[in-house]
Amino acid sequence: MNVQPNSMEARDKAYHLHSYTNARALEKDGALVMDRGEGIYVYDTNGKQYIEGMAGLWSVGVGFGENRLVEAAAKQMAKLPYYHTFTARAHGPSIELAEKLIQMAPVPMSKAYFTNSGSEANDTAVKMVWYRSNALGKPEKKKIISRIKGYHGVTVASASLTGLPNNHRSFDLPIAGVFHTSCPHYRAFKLEGEDEAAFVARCVKELEDLIIKEGPETVAAFIGEPVMGAGGVIVPPAGYWDAIQKILKKYDILLIADEVICGFGRTGNMFGTTTYEMQPDIMTLSKQISSSYQPISALLINENVYQPLADESAKIGTFGHGVTAAGHPVASAVALENIAIIEERDLVGNVKALAPKFQGRIKALESHPLVIEGRGVGLIGAIELKPRDGFAAGQLGSKLFSIMVEKGLISRAIGDSLAFCPPMIITEAQVDTIFDTVEASLDVLQKQLSA
């Protein structure tokens, strides 16, 4: 990248440490700096247009430049720009949002609790689970099971739940008491001759074996995304969640559904919990709750979690947890308006209507010589490139990603998988444009590899 002195790109290189970035490579190559967004498109500082095929970070459901959200933020900023929810304080937007989320919940929930990000929500879920176990007089029941390739955030506790090595390396993670069981990616992890039913049975047995090994009396909760996102868009096989939940119920283990990516329409239902008939005790929400126009997240907890927590807060005199901006009035107002847009414009219906086209185009890419698998559900999906001699894991994915960016399409390379998660306002013609660009980019990569 040709970086001009005193440009935004040069200033970024000079002063900014980026997330999920090779810092030395950034010093050399610089960043792609975005200037504005409109609909499914973003524009860099040179005016180049890109389809934002990842909706930012799986999150801008209603698209960029939505004036209703701008107006909601401005109106609330003028009225009450900030107030907190500590020490029995509240304000209208947080009350209305809590009420709305409990009413929307796909399974009975009791209370909403606000934080600022998915990481914080999952971190808080861990603390709530520990607090509850102490309240119940079960101080030994603290262990939490997650899954290999699961993604739950980057705070100390949530990064420990995350089952991706680069979130642990050199951070001295995971912390004690967090364990990881099988990833439900059938193609990648099936045994020779093993059908999907047998694969699910093996995943469930491995979970039960881990619970028994650790001691059921010490295992408090299991956390999982309905569909794994940042681990590579991994869709669970038929019967997986039903079988997993039977084991959790057998051993009195809470289920935490991480809906940070799946929630608010992405899978073709308002929540992934509905798509996979899950019955969680805790749900964590973020991203599309406000289309990421404002940082906000929420936990929904059922009576089974709330009542012991409330009893313990009475015993101690407080629930000693909270962050300054939890339930921020501007963020809450934007989230409420965002949810109203999703409902009024039937964006979940748009996901359902376009899912056959979207998933069909992904699956059709399996016919390309470079692609080993296309997978997804609703308006979330990924293609995975075939391993190739002479290329380390992730190198081909990075090459394809760069080609697509040059052609005006932003995806996300997850190793050698390329993920797609466009804004839910996308049209059928725009879906075709995305995958026409992917096909053309694959052809370019193939020619480069053959040269």
pLDDT in tens, 68-104: 999 999 999 999 999 999 999 999 999 999 999 999 9
Name the percent of the chain lying above pLDDT 70. 99
The most distant pair of C-alpha atoms in the chain lies apart, rounded to whole Å, by 71
Helical packing angle, 428-450 and 395-406, nearest 10°: 120
The answer to whether the beta carbons of residues 396 and 415 sit under 8 Å apart is no
pLDDT tens-digit readout, 264-310: 999 999 999 999 999 999 999 999 999 999 999 999 999 999 999 99
pLDDT for position 5: 77
Q: Is the pLDDT of residue 2 over 70?
A: no
Please give the Cα distance from 235 to 247 (Å, whole number).
Answer: 20
The answer to whether the beta carbons of residues 293 and 313 sit under 8 Å apart is no
pLDDT for position 402: 97
> Helices (H), strands (E): how many in the chain?
16, 15
Structure tokens at 378: 């609703």
pTM of the model: 0.96
Please give the Cα distance from 115 to 422 (Å, whole number).
Answer: 25
Just give the CATH number of 32-62+346-450.
3.90.1150.10
Structure tokens at 29: 């190559």
Outline which parts of the chain fall under CATH 3.90.1150.10: 32-62+346-450
Helical packing angle, 196-214 and 240-250, nearest 10°: 20
Q: Is the pLDDT of residue 1 over 80?
A: no
Structure tokens at 394: 């992730």
Query: pLDDT grade, residue 4 (50/70/90)?
Result: confident
Please give the Cα distance from 397 to 95 (Å, whole number).
Answer: 44
Using DSSP, state whether 285 is helix, strand or coil.
strand
pLDDT tens-digit readout, 150-208: 999 999 999 999 999 999 999 999 999 999 999 999 999 999 999 999 999 999 999 99
Please give the Cα distance from 217 to 252 (Å, whole number).
Answer: 9
pLDDT tens-digit readout, 26-55: 999 999 999 999 999 999 999 999 999 999
Encode 238-262: b = buried (16+ Cβ within 10 Å), e = exposed. eebbebbbeebeeeebbbbbbbbbb
The answer to whether the beta carbons of residues 200 and 184 sit under 8 Å apart is yes
Q: Which one is the CATH code of 69-344: 3.30.230.10, 3.40.630.30, 3.40.640.10, 3.30.70.100? A: 3.40.640.10
**Which residues fall within 8 angstroms of residue 446, CB to CB, at 6 or more apart?**
368, 369, 370
Outline which parts of the chain fall under CATH 3.40.640.10: 69-344
**Which residues fall within 8 angstroms of residue 63, CB to CB, at 6 or more apart?**
37, 38, 39, 40, 291, 423, 424, 425
3-7, 31-35, 144-148, 303-307 — which is least confidently predicted?
Answer: 3-7
Structure tokens at 417: 């998988």
- Reported as type and span, the H/E element at residue 298 is strand 297-301
Q: Calculate mean pLDDT across residues 339-344.
A: 98
Please give the Cα distance from 313 to 247 (Å, whole number).
Answer: 30
Nearest to 266 by CA among 303, 227, 305, 238: 227
Q: Calculate mean pLDDT across residues 233-256.
A: 98
pLDDT for position 451: 81
Name the percent of the chain lying above pLDDT 90. 98
The DSSP letter of residue 17 is P
Query: pLDDT grade, residue 6 (50/70/90)?
Result: confident
Please give the Cα distance from 200 to 242 (Å, whole number).
Answer: 10
Q: Calculate mean pLDDT across residues 348-368.
A: 98
Task: Write the single-letter amino acid at 427.
Answer: T
Q: Is the pLDDT of residue 220 over 70?
A: yes
Q: Is the pLDDT of residue 407 over 70?
A: yes
Using DSSP, state whether 236 is helix, strand or coil.
coil
